[in-house]
Structure 1
């Protein structure tokens, strides 16, 4: 049985998008673990993203979508909770625990003199350095002439891996008979509740990155963020939108899918804004001591 070209393209793009979302969380989780901090992430960004995923999940259940779609919605909410839990641990619980440890340790010393420092150099809390002295981020390294290309190569290989896994996954599913002609009629209508939840999720997705953009601006840095996290987000949104548009351009079909199309394509502008921040804040800064 031959599959129409539009459905084949839609399936391949959708499978790549799925692979992007599955691997999306790994780079940022590793970045937080490596730094023992999630300071670079905006808490409000993750909360709004979680609300968007919850709306998607409830909408999928309400509309009686495929079990795989519902399962993916559960997976997305789960990884959101994992990232939020990691952020809360590193940014709120762990610093307080360390502070109590240091406080208890110094109360054991008998009569410290006023000349003694409260904390030794090894115990002193780390201060935030000038953005120019912080570790430069991977995207800015890729644009720098004197930087190592290892990070850029690693990111390119990761994106290629996601593209390969997504494409191969769809072809394997097709060969095994798990994918057949969809035959979705452009005239079919989505339940009103599902559309409302779809627009709600689009709203959360469209506004979720604004707190992150503001946080980067306020800190004048993107340190602590994984550039691959946002690259995979861009790939996932691009291919998800392409999967919808390649299937059909009928008016009713586009109207039915408008909330999800808006949520995927609309966030690309904000993703590119964050890429711009990676480049701008990663530029070498002039040393004030040399200017004096």
Structure 2
């Protein structure tokens, strides 16, 4: 029985096919994490509407340029899927935010709470409760019963950056494995069929003026689409609500997309290539795909800036959170709330306090 990889030659075309398959797997799932994040939060405030709209325009130009230029079928399939996925994500954003073009950063929850507290204090009268709804704490009497232990209602801590990185890495590896498996199954289905060398020479690489125009317009819109998202992150001072898997899949999809184009083996019209013909064919091929390569590469660099914002704001957010915890005892009028000495209290249930029982007559 032959091994599974028997007869499987990993040449340049195979590397291009594997990278293309991984790229397709990444782009198929790229919008799913952000769609889930928006649905979980019930909001799309973290995502820039302008980012999605400009990206959608770039995808439309991508389809036109890819079809007119006659590039790889993988590029055309991805261009069509990009457009459909953009429409779905844009529809979800409009559902949560309404039909708007502007990106307005939402204020933090602490600011409205302080404003509300100020309004309550300003409008207080004889009929106003001493404590507002936000300042009241529910009493927990379970600790008074010896049969019922005290139950803590503290929220679980959010995942750390390390835990998030490990989880995202595992998902990315599974997606890469799925892409490689898809290419492998496709090669096994082809069997011994081989592509003819005809049609891969220099004469087959023809420039389409409109294809190149649309290709470069696509690259410009792809690069420009990241700018509104970077600005929105800066204005919000956080990346909360953005799924990092969204940008991880985009980065990996762009990397493998570029590799699938660069991994190209020139073939001459004749069996024997003339001197310098291989380099000339490869140079013409790269020039033909330059707009798509430039758009993917520069977009990749701008996605790295999003990652930098993510790690920076997560670090500063942790410091601010600890500072806010220390300042939580400051009341609205600026007076310090007196600190409670927890050591002066006996936290045991009442019936279990031996000194209280002995003190009874």
Q: TM-score range by the shorter chain?
A: 0.7 to 0.9
**Contact 1:137/1:222 (8 A) holds in 2:** no
Q: Would you tell me which structure has more helix in proportion to its own residues? A: 1
Length, aligned pairs only: 251
Gaps of 5+ in 2: 1-6, 100-122, 135-155, 266-278, 331-361
Counterpart CA distance in 1 for 2:324 and 2:177 is 47
SS at match of 2:16: helix
Match of 1:247 among 264, 271, 284: 264
Aligned-residue Cα RMSD (Å) equals: 3.0
Unaligned runs of 5+ in 1: 94-112, 123-134, 144-148
Residue of structure 2 equivalent to 1:164: 177
Alpha-carbon contact 1:7-1:182 (below 8 Å) kept: no
Q: What's the counterpart of residue 23 of structure 1?
A: 29
Alignment check: 8 A CA contact 2:219 2:292 kept: yes
- Give the TM-score taking structure 2 as reference length: 0.62
Residue equivalent to 1:226? 243
Do the aligned residues in 2 keep the contact of 1:50 with 1:80 (CA within 8 Å)?
yes
Give the 5 Å matches for 1:195-274.
195-248=212-265, 250-274=282-306
Note closer, same or farther for the CA distance 1:273–1:137 as it changes in structure 2 (3 Å cut): farther
Write out per-residue CA displacement over residues 222-248 of structure 1, whole angstroms, 9 at most, x where no aligned residue. 011000000000000001111111215
Give the match for residue 142 of structure 1: 161
Greater Rg by CA: 2
State the distance in 2 between where 1:80 and 1:29 align: 11
Deviations 1:118-144 (A, max 9, x none): xx969xxxxxxxxxxxx9987xx324x
Out of 155, 174, 193, the position equivalent to 2:187 is 174
1:206/1:263 contact within 8 Å kept: yes
Match of 1:185 in 2: 201
- Find the aligned partners of 2:133 and 2:185 in 1 and give their Cα distance: 57
Shift of 1:175: 1.4
Distance in 2, Cα, partners of 1:136 & 1:57: 45
Task: For residues 205-264 of structure 1, give each alpha carbon's deviation from its aligned partner in whole angstroms, at most 9, with x where no partner exists.
Answer: 111111101110011000110000000000000011111112157211110010111111
Report if the CA contact (8 A) 1:174-1:180 is conserved.
Answer: no
Instruction: Find the aligned partners of 1:10 and 1:75 in 2 and give their Cα distance.
Output: 20
TM-score, normalised to structure 1's length? 0.76
Higher RCO by CA contacts (8 Å cutoff, separation 6 or greater): 1
Deviation, 1:56, is 1.2
Shift of 1:191: 1.3
Deviates more, 1:173-182 or 1:71-80: 173-182
